[in-house]
Amino acid sequence: MCKRYFWVVLLFIGVVTVSCKEDRKPNVVYILADDLGIGDVSCYNPEAKFQTPNIDKLSQEGMRFTDAHSGSAVCTPTRYGILTGRYSWRGVMKKGVTWSYDSSIIEPNRVTVADMFQTNGYKTACIGKWHLGLNWAVDSSSKWPVDFTQKVRNSPNDYGFDYSYVIPASLDIPPYVYLENDEVTAQPDRETENKSKYGWWRLGPTGSDFSHEKVLSNFSSRAVDYINENKDEPFFLYLPLAAPHTPIIPDAKHKGKSEFSEYGDFVMMVDEVVGNVTAALKANGLDENTLIIFTSDNGCAPLAGVKDMEAKGHFSSMQYRGYKAEAYEGGHRIPFIARWANQIAPGSLSKSTICLTDFMATCAAILNIDLADDTAEDSYDLSPLLSEVPFEGDFREATVHHAMDGSFAIRKGDWKLILTKGSGGWKTEENDLRIKNATHPFQLYNIKTDDKETENMVESNPEKAEELRLLMEKYILEGRSTPGEKQAYVKSENWPGTDWMSK
């Protein structure tokens, strides 16, 4: 009798355990590469000169998007959009990126995706490159530009993250310190700089525990530790990497691994991080109940040596025109892969146009949360796409692209209007010549028939150009690009394109 009772109890415990696992909310891991071009991922580019097997495996087990776009062609505004579901140009970030000691660009009362997870029973963590500004303490007696001994305000912990371990900005922008939660982990004891061709970084204060070459592996191990330590509760892990953005500094283990270039080595190092994270999820029995997203904040940077790589047959932008910072497709068309076992069909493909701002509305749908009208104003719910049933028709009404200099572009269906004569990126002789020879202030391309953006149709199809211009103006004036209550128009003398608002 006792023996039978023992087995009944054991069976009951097993059933309850299985039931709890099935009822548990899904974990969400968001891996954001930095300046990774769509052609740098081998499952997108069959002609890539190096391989990304771990990222490719995510694609084999999940869904690969071929028409995904970052919210901007540079990193700070894209990161704002991922966390808030809102285009950054609606706030203070009209162009460019935040710099060394700039203040936070996220508004104090704005709800973030981390807030949403946190208030719904999730553990939340940000491990990686922040680059959204921090409010540093200032002490005139300090030898450094800010007082590193004081806590910072408006760290990730003030925007919904229980735990954060970050660097302030890119690896070429000082200061070079880690912040754990809102405190610097080790005081600067020197200034460092590097002037090598692709491995350079600017002179700046450097923490005693900081080595540029070890940052990526440090983030990887911290992410794995976080997964191991939080396996018993649902969590949201935001993992914005600092690579393969310059400085291009693969570690000794990866140097030469691609048999192509140090950039290829560095991309393969990013790929290994993806493998480490997925292995940790599997080891903890979490891989079947975790939505993993892998993507990039914009296209590959010219400073990474794209011309040298192209001369050797590798095209980080594939057939698309342009690179990071530009309104052309190469500036913002990015890899985007979503894997969620038993939810997303393995090896599936989506050709729908999506934007990284869509993350917040998607997570809200997964959590069965209704978003307020003043939240995630530019975020569409991707969940209808994440199924075995093919999605028909246009998913988004339109998608706004934004160049480094603040220039706008807008894409609706097959058509894309660029509201500037040039690329909107860095000043180059090629771009100066393009602007000088332009006969019209705008550019109109049919992306379906001309994905290389070679034939400007603005003069042959003025009706389509005007339709898109008016839609762009509507999105600005109504404070949103999704259905919902009209939001306040944020007036600013710095609005890019104010000269076309009255055309």
- Residue-level pLDDT at 429: 82
SS3 161: coil
- Residue-level pLDDT at 19: 39
Segment 213-233 mean pLDDT = 98
Which two three-digit tokens encode residue 492?
A: 């600013």
CA distance 340 to 62: 6
Q: Do 314 and 405 reside in the same domain of the chain? A: no
- Residue-level pLDDT at 155: 97
pLDDT at 432 over 90: no
Q: What is the CATH number of the domain that holds 372?
A: 3.40.720.10
pLDDT tens sequence across 19-68: 344 578 999 999 999 999 999 999 999 999 999 999 999 999 999 999 99
Contacts of 346 (CB under 8 A, 6+ apart): 60, 61, 62
- Residue-level pLDDT at 437: 85
- The answer to whether the CB of 229 falls within 8 A of the CB of 207 is no
Q: Is residue 491 part of a domain?
A: no
Q: Do 355 and 296 reside in the same domain of the chain? A: yes
Among the three residues 354, 385, 416, which one is the final residue of a domain in this structure? 385
Segment 465-480 mean pLDDT = 95
How does DSSP assign 65-88, residue by residue?
EEEEE-SSSSHHHHHHHHHHSS-G
Q: Is residue 393 part of a domain?
A: no
Give the model's confidence band at 415: pLDDT under 50 very low, under 70 low, under 90 confident, else very high: very high
Q: Is residue 490 part of a domain?
A: no
Q: Phi first, then psi: what are they for 497, rounded to 5°?
A: 80, 20
Segment 429-443 mean pLDDT = 87
Q: What is the CATH number of the domain that holds 439?
A: 3.30.1120.10
How does DSSP assign 303-367, residue by residue?
GGTHHHHHHTT--TTTTS---TTSSSHHHHEEEEEEE-TTTS-TTEEEEEEEEGGGHHHHHHHHT
- The answer to whether the CB of 336 falls within 8 A of the CB of 353 is no
Q: Do 303 and 196 reside in the same domain of the chain? A: yes
- Residue-level pLDDT at 187: 97
- Of 109, 118, 69, 74, whose CA–CA distance to 91 is shortest? 109
pLDDT tens sequence across 329-378: 999 999 999 999 989 999 999 999 999 999 999 999 999 999 999 999 99
CA distance 422 to 160: 39
Of residues 142 and 182, more confidence is placed in: 182
pLDDT at 188 over 90: yes
- pTM, two decimals, is 0.94
- Residue 441, domain extent: 399-478
pLDDT at 11 over 60: no
Q: Do 319 and 457 reside in the same domain of the chain? A: no
Give strand ranges (E) for 333-481.
333-339, 348-355, 399-402, 408-412, 415-418, 443-446
Give the model's confidence band at 500: pLDDT under 50 very low, under 70 low, under 90 confident, else very high: low
- Mean pLDDT over all residues of the chain? 92
Give the model's confidence band at 7: pLDDT under 50 very low, under 70 low, under 90 confident, else very high: very low
pLDDT at 8 over 50: no
